[in-house]
Amino acid sequence: MDAALFSPYLDRWRLSHDGTAIVTPRARLLPVRRDGQPLMLKIATDPEERFGGILLEWWGGEGAARAVEVEGDAVLMERAMGKRSLTAYAQNGRDDEATEVLCAVIAGLHAPRTKPWPDGLVTMPVWFEALEPMARSHGGWLRRAAEEARALLAEGVDERPLHGDIHHDNVLDFGERGWLAIDPKHLRGDRAFDYANLFCNPDMDFPDKPVAVRRERFERRLDIVVEHSGLERRRLLRWILAWTGLSAAWLIQDGDPAEVDTRVGAMAMAELDR
């Protein structure tokens, strides 16, 4: 365990260990309790991850896990104790239900708030910086994705704070509190972007159990998202294409395969060209 990393916060926030530490590429997490309440202590090890706690705090537990304490790289948040999994739903014939849950969570995150937005939210043009150079060097469908992204970013409509990484394992079962989001990316932009994020998952982590790349599921998800979000279908498709292009660009940069993004992007292009 990263004892030196966790110890200052365990002492300061009166926390006791309640499980084994979890290591991710961008953070260290430790299940803890305070006064009997199950919580999760998360310490960012990547600058980008640090700002997610600020957005959790701003949401105030509405649509997302409640931030109990936020300080520097650390956030103490309520812990998901439920057993249900949206990935399991999607992979076992309940993808409609999983998609409806994701739409409801996104709507809760996007609900109007009276307080000012958090400072320092990253804009969509900055978030999409990797796409243009990759489209120039690789061409093909990435060029079309970059064209759509460029046009969408110029329009800049319906802007609000975004989660930025909505997928089946970032929306968890919090028991009586229902399904709530974790691990936001501290973005601002068109609300359609958050809905576009869900279309490649859970296949990104489980390519051997295809759901998102199946055409009938793609089309059904489109219907569900349009119905629940009120988004115009063509606009949603454009954002899906832009998002899959950006995700593919990141993967290619890292030397990883981008098959899921490529297949979902191809389906979005086919729908746009009908």
The active-site residue, picked from 165, 169, 194, 273, is: 165
Q: Is 256 helix (H, G, I), strand (E, B) or coil?
A: coil
Residue 241: closest CA among 214, 218, 223, 211 = 218
- Whether 35 is a known active-site residue: answer no
- In angstroms, what CA-CA distances link 186 with 30, 85, 166, 250? 22, 24, 12, 18
Q: How many residues does the chain have?
A: 274
Is 22:28 a contact under the CB 8 Å cutoff?
Answer: yes
Residue 70: closest CA among 103, 118, 105 = 118
Is 187:127 a contact under the CB 8 Å cutoff?
Answer: yes
Question: Buried b / exposed e across 209-229, counting CB within 10 Å, b at 16+?
Answer: eebbbeeebbeebbebbbebb
β partners of residue 97: none
- Strands 27-34 and 22-24, sheet pairing: antiparallel
Catalytic site positions? 165
